[in-house]
């Protein structure tokens, strides 16, 4: 008995895979190229702005030096200072101070590749021990705080040393280490960490690690000797 095969049936056509490994790899490559290009353009623009501010401040500094020389020459000749010249010098000085503050703010917010908050998150993800899981991260230029839970408090010791030795936390010192015992039933233990049977509850500890800029030393003047006759 002869049979007929419908070659146009959708079941016999090659299915398109929109989320195949090749497609995802290509999308990731495009994303990385675009991200790298935007980061490079941002850094280049920031450097140009920095150079422009520096040149402007140098020119204004030279102009202020000329005004100061003119004032000194008038003082040397015993002639009264020109009020307009004094006012102009004061205005230039004020403008120069404002531009200096703006330049400091611009340099403070400059982006340095490899030292962003995303790099700190990658450091935490790469170095975190198996019995530890993080629930909260707070970070800024002067503070880095980690909170979470652990099944083994001793695992925090080596991890803290690893984080402190990283250049990403340069200028920050470990300020607070807080570890407390927690009721295991109230803590959502991850599947990877909860290797023990569910019927046997495991002890869980909460932790809070804070690294911050060291406080400036307080100098107390000894005035006891000044009261001696």
Q: Residue 158: give its domain's CATH number.
A: 3.30.70
How many domains are there within the chain? 2
> pTM for the complete prediction?
0.42
Query: Is 226 part of a structural domain of the chain?
Result: no
198 with 167, same domain: the answer is: yes
Query: Is 158 part of a structural domain of the chain?
Result: yes
193 with 127, same domain: the answer is: yes
Give the model's confidence band at 45: pLDDT under 50 very low, under 70 low, under 90 confident, else very high: confident
Contact indicator for 85, 71 with CB cutoff of 8 Å: yes
| Closest C-alpha to 141, from 109, 179, 167 | 109
| Least confidently predicted of 30-44, 59-73, 98-112, 137-151 | 98-112
Query: Is 220 part of a structural domain of the chain?
Result: no
List pLDDT tens digits, range 129-142: 988 989 998 887 77
- Higher per-residue confidence, 226 vs 58: 58
- Higher per-residue confidence, 81 vs 107: 81
Confidence check: pLDDT of 181 > 70: yes
Contact indicator for 176, 147 with CB cutoff of 8 Å: no
Contact indicator for 159, 132 with CB cutoff of 8 Å: yes
Q: What is the DSSP string of the chain?
A: ------TT-TTTSPPP-TT-HHHHHHHHHHHHHHHHHHHHHHHHHHHHHHHHHHHHHHHHHHHHHHHHHHHHHHHHTTPPPPHHHHHHHHHHHHHHHHHHHHHHHHHHT---TT-SHHHHHHHHHHH--TTEEEEEEEEETTEEEEEEEES-TTHHHHHHHHHHHSGGGTT-EEEEEEEEEE-GGGS---TTT--S-TTS---EEEEEEEEEPPPPPPP----GGGG--
- Report the chain's mean pLDDT, rounded to a whole number: 72
Q: Which of 119-123, 151-155, 174-178, 196-200 has the highest mean pLDDT?
A: 151-155
86 with 143, same domain: the answer is: no
Token pair belonging to 33: 């190229």
98 with 31, same domain: the answer is: yes
70 with 143, same domain: the answer is: no
| Least confidently predicted of 89-103, 110-124, 185-199 | 185-199
79 with 144, same domain: the answer is: no
91 with 148, same domain: the answer is: no
Q: Average pLDDT of 180-204?
A: 60
**Which pLDDT value is given to residue 200?**
56
**Percent of the chain whose pLDDT exceeds 70:** 65
Query: Is 7 part of a structural domain of the chain?
Result: no
Query: Domain containing 187: what range?
Result: 117-212
């Amino acid at each position: 008995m002869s049979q007929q095969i419908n070659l146009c049936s959708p079941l016999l056509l090659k299915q398109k895979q929109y989320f195949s490994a090749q497609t995802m790899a290509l999308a990731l490559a495009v994303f990385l190229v675009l991200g790298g290009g935007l980061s490079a353009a941002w850094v280049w623009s920031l450097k140009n702005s920095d150079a422009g501010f520096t040149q402007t401040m140098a020119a204004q500094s030279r102009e202020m030096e000329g005004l100061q020389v003119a004032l000194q020459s008038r003082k040397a000749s015993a002639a009264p200072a020109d009020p307009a010249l004094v006012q102009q010098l004061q205005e230039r000085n004020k403008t120069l101070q404002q531009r200096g503050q703006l330049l400091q703010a611009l340099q403070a917010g400059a982006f340095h590749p490899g030292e962003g908050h995303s790099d700190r998150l990658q450091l935490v993800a790469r170095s975190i021990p198996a019995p530890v899981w993080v629930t909260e991260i707070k970070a800024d230029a002067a503070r880095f705080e980690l909170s979470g839970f652990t099944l083994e408090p001793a695992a925090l010791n080596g991890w803290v040393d690893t984080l402190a030795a990283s250049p990403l936390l340069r200028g920050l010192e470990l300020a607070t280490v807080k570890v407390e015992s927690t009721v295991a039933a109230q803590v959502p233990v991850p599947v990877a960490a909860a290797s023990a049977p569910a019927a046997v509850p495991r002890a869980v500890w909460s932790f809070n690690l804070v690294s911050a800029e060291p406080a400036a030393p307080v100098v107390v003047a000894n005035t006891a000797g000044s009261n001696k006759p």
